[in-house]
Structure 1
């Protein structure tokens, strides 16, 4: 990744969104179980770029939220496959890739940032599917 992408781009929180989208695309196969997404290699890769260097907590949270937006975008692009968002959110939480605070921040934000002006319908659908997940965080 460092060979093909500049350090300046990698430092942007939106890079984590793009990386997440790329991982979901690589993992997407017909009749594929979402339980197999984000294996240990993908988890390590996401963790590396979310926490690529010592950063202030708000910057880490910004990267974590962008990861969640990547999942939201891919869920919409794949026409909301059943269980995808819930399983991926659980996986990222269980593997300590995304903090509880970042999940809550993603839930509260009303719009995408920098380049993806998706309508809120996509977010609303994801949040409805994730009701049990957010209850478990409480």
Structure 2
């Protein structure tokens, strides 16, 4: 018997978010090489967008994963962990794609923010549910 039933769900979403961060990091490196910019964005809009897409993901993903881990440790079943992981991942991916394409507002960016905030709200409510007797 798995001591933490939702542990595999947490592992799945942590792995996918780590891969997303790695992919976004590689996009920054590619833009740096393409434009020969070692530090900062060099005034290159494409590099600035790649840097912000990675930076924004690093601002939101860690707390989302903390929420998923806390939910798992609180004894939530996998079916409570998966929706939050899926919506958080989908939101972060959509936001990253939208921001990587342009620094302007876009439906992907807006949808990504909405999904991320939705996952955060879901996690907060679920954590309160499991925290209160």
State the TM-score, normalized to the length of structure 1.
0.28
State the TM-score, normalized to the length of structure 2.
0.29
Higher RCO by CA contacts (8 Å cutoff, separation 6 or greater):
2
Q: Give the helix-richer structure, 1 or 2.
A: 2
Larger radius of gyration: 2
